[in-house]
Structure 1
Amino acid sequence: MKRINLASLDRRRKIGALIVIILVIAGIGVGSNLWYQSSRYITTDNARISAPLIPVSTLGTSQIISLDVDLGSYVERGQRVAEVGQPRVSDSTNMRGFKAIPTSPTGVEAPVSGYVAAIWAYPGAVITTGQPIMTLYDSSNVWVTANIEETKMGRVHPGQKVKITVDSLRGATLEGTVEGIAAATAATFSLIPQQSTTGTFIKVVQVVPVKIAIEKPESSVLLPGTSVEVKISTR
């Protein structure tokens, strides 16, 4: 008959009990930290860099002669970004009694300093009044738009400090401050209505846009639309 080593069995029981105690303590520590973080901070990754997007257009129908900038170029306010002229009229049109008004080429200037975010028309294209040639974004005025769940909005107020983690800067952290809170949910301005007109209703937690000012923005690398994570201090 095989003899049971009581000392070895007792040692195993002690080790097992010690492991259980360690796991319980670790669980309590993790739970306490989560409670502490959730009670002092509101965190979300549903946030983006925002900036004013300024269209560059002409006051009348024109034909683009040339573009003086490329996508991503930095321009100063008043700098020429394109040259336009009167659209060409074909000979067949002239024969019917129409004739192009002779005008000299005109330069189109940037209304603000910033970066070329998009180019919508190229040399040879005819644009109408108000149709943008390109879009600039004002790099001197960038902020974060964070969508916060409505159930947490009672804890968000202007003036609260925010830590902003920027994905495009390899996780670099910037400081910010809650500057404003939208007076309606994000769904209110959606092109597709969120309200159900049928008998079936599923409650969905809405989000409210919150504007966060960046204290020291690195405007040259903070591109509109890029993702960030925000951590709002509620105390």
Structure 2
Amino acid sequence: MRQQFDETVEGLGSSEHTGKARPSIKARLRRPLMVALPLLLVLGGGARYLHGARDIATDDAFVRAAKVSINARVPGQVVKVAVTENQQVRAGQLLFQIDPQPYRIAVEQADARLSSARLQVEALKATYRRQLADVESARLSADFDSHEYDRKKALLATDFASRSSYEQAQTDLMVARQHIASAQQDVSNTIAGLDGDPSIEVDRHPTVREARAQLDRARLDLSYTTITAPDDGVVTKVDDLQAGDFVSSGATVFSMMSSRHIWVEANFRETGLTHMRPGQAAIVDVDSYPGHGFKAHVVSISPGTGSEFALLPPENATGNWVKVVQRLPVRLELDKVDPKWPLYSGMSVTAQVDTRQDGFAVSRDGGAGK
């Protein structure tokens, strides 16, 4: 019994000894933890600040797309509208058709004028050849009349010819020489009609070239009766155009928003532009596609705030001025336009630019250089 009691007392003593040791260990760890934990928090916060301090973001940003005004290049009556409101179209796809019949007639008329011009030049060349023969014939006739005149003149001196026959020979010679001059003048006029070159090719003659240009113009106008999409995009306001409407040349009939020429206009605070440069990478988050970020890059920074380009810029020299941080539009272009994630002009986005990259320096002429 005494032995068991002694063992129990020793056990209790060891338990008391252990209970006293635990508080001693906690006391030794408390001070280092109180110092290390705040230090770790400070270091972590500082690292996060340094990592994100130059990631400039703004939610004052919107998707922009190139807007194309669809119009007719020739006037006429619309015979077909091949698209519907908000339809996706591809470049070269038919949008609407203008009645081509008047322009086909114009092509036929121009073609006929071209054929007529060629015939006229051919006729001038034939006339030139005939007139050369006339000149040669006139010269031969003049040579004969000249010999006849000389003979009559000699006979008159010996009284073997009458004076009347001499005068007739003299008159015939004068008429023959006038025929030569007249024939030569006709040749000169014909050469002038051949643009100074009797051997000119028919298709190089100015009259033919003009007629051919008129034919080309008529054919071009005929091609303009078919209006196609200039780019990939979505057509809108198509209902404003109906078959049977008459359209004027250059008048806008509806619009198309490009689906390839898309960019983001982000309005950053001026205080965030310190290290922003063209070429820096950016991430664009679109409100319509939460969780999907679009890779982009800075293209350019506007030379002025939006108010500078307003119709009536603000006047700050009134004495009631309050300083407000201004915003400058920054153009971001997407690295890739994915049809799976269509973007439409006016969508709200959040843009974040990593200004830690060097990007490109902006040159004095407004361009970007390495």
What is the TM-score with the length of structure 1 in the denominator?
0.69
Distance 2:43 2:239 in 1: 55
Distance 1:188 1:62 in 2: 43
CA radius of gyration, larger in: 2
Distance 2:254 2:48 in 1: 47
The CA deviation string for residues 180-225 of structure 1, in whole angstroms up to 9 with x for no partner, is 1122222222234233464432333221111112112224611111
Distance 2:80 2:47 in 1: 60
Q: Which residue of 1 aligns with 2:56?
A: 42
Q: Percentage identity across aligned positions?
A: 28
Aligned residues: 195
Offset of residue 32 of structure 1: 5.6
Match runs of 1:164-203 below 5 Å: 164-196=284-316, 198-203=318-323
What is the TM-score with the length of structure 2 in the denominator?
0.46
1:121–1:46 Cα change, 3 Å: same
Q: Secondary structure at the match of 1:151?
A: helix
Distance 1:200 1:119 in 2: 49
- Alignment partner of 1:204 out of 301, 304, 324: 324
Structure 1 position 132 matched with structure 2 position 252 = yes
The CA deviation string for residues 49-72 of structure 1, in whole angstroms up to 9 with x for no partner, is 112111110124444444211222
- Alignment partner of 1:112 out of 228, 231, 247: 231
- Alignment partner of 2:342 out of 206, 221, 234: 221
Structure 1 position 157 matched with structure 2 position 285 = no
Query: Contact (CA 8 Å) 1:81, 1:108: kept in 2 or not?
Result: yes
Where does structure 2 lack aligned partners over 5 or more consecutive residues?
1-33, 101-220, 357-370
Distance 1:158 1:186 in 2: 19
Specify which structure has the higher proportion of strand.
Answer: 1
Where does structure 1 lack aligned partners over 5 or more consecutive residues?
1-20, 87-102
Letter in 2 for 1:216: K
Q: Which residue of 2 aligns with 1:146?
A: 266
Match runs of 1:11-30 below 5 Å: none
Distance 1:135 1:57 in 2: 9
Distance 1:36 1:62 in 2: 65
Structure 1 position 80 matched with structure 2 position 199 = no
Give the RMSD, CA atoms, in angstroms. Answer: 3.3
Offset of residue 151 of structure 1: 1.9
Q: Which residue of 2 aligns with 1:230?
A: 351
Query: Contact (CA 8 Å) 1:49, 1:228: kept in 2 or not?
Result: yes
Offset of residue 47 of structure 1: 0.7
Distance 1:133 1:31 in 2: 58
Q: Which residue of 2 aligns with 1:67?
A: 81
Specify which structure has the higher proportion of helix.
Answer: 2
Distance 1:120 1:201 in 2: 49
Q: Secondary structure at the match of 1:188?
A: helix
